[in-house]
Structure 1
Amino acid sequence: MSKLPRIDYYFDVISPYSYIGFEILHKLKHQWKGVSIRYIPFFLGAIMNETGNRSPGMLPAKAAMSMTDLRRTAKFWNIPFTPNPHFMDWIMKYRPTGALRILLALEEQDKELMLRAARGFWLRLWFRSEKIFENSDFEEVLKAVGVKNVQEVIEKSKEEKYIKMLMKNTKEGVSLGAYGAPWINVLTADGEEHLFFGSDRFHLIADLLQQPQPLPDKLLFNQKSKL
């Protein structure tokens, strides 16, 4: 018996490409029919360590080109984005694991709240150049997205349960061959798995799933107006 195709989207809130991919996928879920999506937080730092990969920010020429690439892509898709001048200093000092555990705790309460909080973390880091690593940061994001029991969620996220959940998600990513983020596992109706890396592979995923090619709203509107 065939099943509906599913996209498993592995992401880290510290990753700007995960942010871009998240927003594109959010737009596509209104264009693609009969495709379910799972959003799976994992710890990119552990993925990089496991595979020996390095952040683009560690190579100045690559870092500069990455920011140019991100700005262009964000503009094309109408996604709020501003390069963060503090990012390299912060990732040497902090881990995003607290924010990721917040998302896991929220998901049990309300999946949509989890997605709004993920966007809130990305907007802080990659639009307003604000931190996402400490309790005060968590409080601001949770209040902004409408969480009522803010302190309860923060304390709950520190439980061993969510530490293990994050480790499990990260190990799953490694087992799927992940070396960066976002990492995407597409399960087709025949049960086969198809792996993709990055935020610029959605045209290939569309072809695989026989869905409309991805377009930003401005081009989608122009295309419809010509019909």
Structure 2
Amino acid sequence: MLQVLCRYQHIWNIDLHFCPAFLGGIMQATGNKPPAMLPKRAEYMLKDIKRMAKYYQVPVRISEDDFPRILGTSSLGAMRFITAIDMTEPRFLEPLSREFWIRFWSQREDISQPENILAVAGQAGLSPELAQKLLEMISSPAVKNRLKETTEKAIKYGAFGMPAVVAHFNGEPHLFFGSDRLELLGSVIGEKWLGPVPSVPSPKM
């Protein structure tokens, strides 16, 4: 959803804001369980993720061996790092979020490790000095509290897992869960779904 929604932000003329939230906290608060913990559902998910990766043209690489990695890798450090950038240099929020996605889902890297977090930051365009400063910030009470607040906010909107999108339209928030809800999102906000890889319209003369 993240990668495809970025393709649509200018076509639909939406104000897209990335809001970091801790998935583990959401799952615990709502009593949800990772779907891959159910053998049959994990078997289906493996096939479905591959189908969706092909349809949406996103570079997801996944196999049965990846489920322990996915379930066993904490995203807390990465989410705190993204929170720190949101608090200090929000212009890097989108490229940083997308680069974390690529590292985890395409390159299968452990994004919980400090050296990998710094590598992600560099690829997203952050200077080594800024990246190091942000890495030091992730243990600060300010960043921890901010991430806790955004996680609680997501839960109040009804989130029980990720990916989750909240669309504010006509004065109302609309929660969409899952990577296959973009067509429905477009319908609710009065925009047309143009497929997984839409053509950017030429500017009017």
SS in 2 for 1:81: coil
- Structure 2 match to 1:160: 141
The one-character-per-residue Cα deviations of 1:135-163 (angstroms, maximum 9, x if unpaired) are: 11111111222211221111022211110
- C-alpha deviation, 1:89, in angstroms: 4.2
SS in 2 for 1:196: strand
- Structure 1 match to 2:153: 172
Give 5+ residue unaligned stretches, structure 1.
Answer: 1-20
1:74 aligns with 2:56: no
- Structure 1 match to 2:11: 31
Which of the numbers 60, 72, 96 marks the counterpart of 2:39? Answer: 60
> Percent identity between the aligned chains?
28
- Structure 2 match to 1:198: 178
The one-character-per-residue Cα deviations of 1:53-82 (angstroms, maximum 9, x if unpaired) are: 110110122112112211111211211110
Whose relative contact order is higher, 1 or 2, with alpha carbons under 8 Å and at least 6 apart? 1
In 2, the alpha carbon distance for the partners of 1:126 and 1:81 equals: 5
Which of the numbers 125, 133, 142 marks the counterpart of 2:112? Answer: 133
Which of the numbers 188, 198, 202 marks the counterpart of 2:169? Answer: 188
- C-alpha deviation, 1:132, in angstroms: 0.3
Which of the numbers 141, 147, 165 marks the counterpart of 2:126? Answer: 147
SS in 1 for 2:136: helix
- Structure 2 match to 1:105: 84
Distance verdict in 2 for CA 1:78–1:139, change over 3 Å: same
- Do 1:120 and 1:141's aligned partners in 2 also have CA atoms closer than 8 Å? yes
Give 5+ residue unaligned stretches, structure 2.
Answer: none
In 1, the alpha carbon distance for the partners of 2:159 and 2:95 equals: 25
Q: Which amino acid in structure 2 is aligned with residue 212 of structure 1?
A: K
- Do 2:18 and 2:93's aligned partners in 1 also have CA atoms closer than 8 Å? no
- Do 1:31 and 1:212's aligned partners in 2 also have CA atoms closer than 8 Å? no
Q: Which moved more, 1:98-107 or 1:112-121?
A: 112-121
Aligned alpha-carbon RMSD (Å): 2.0
- Do 1:206 and 1:212's aligned partners in 2 also have CA atoms closer than 8 Å? yes
Which of the numbers 21, 24, 27 marks the counterpart of 1:45? Answer: 24
- C-alpha deviation, 1:90, in angstroms: 5.6
- C-alpha deviation, 1:87, in angstroms: 4.2
1:209 aligns with 2:193: no
The one-character-per-residue Cα deviations of 1:2-39 (angstroms, maximum 9, x if unpaired) are: xxxxxxxxxxxxxxxxxxx1011001112102x21221
- Do 2:21 and 2:151's aligned partners in 1 also have CA atoms closer than 8 Å? yes
Q: TM-score, normalised by structure 1?
A: 0.80
In 1, the alpha carbon distance for the partners of 2:117 and 2:140 equals: 16
Name segments (4+ residues, structure 1) moved above 6 Å. Answer: none
In 2, the alpha carbon distance for the partners of 1:86 and 1:75 equals: 18
- Do 1:202 and 1:214's aligned partners in 2 also have CA atoms closer than 8 Å? no
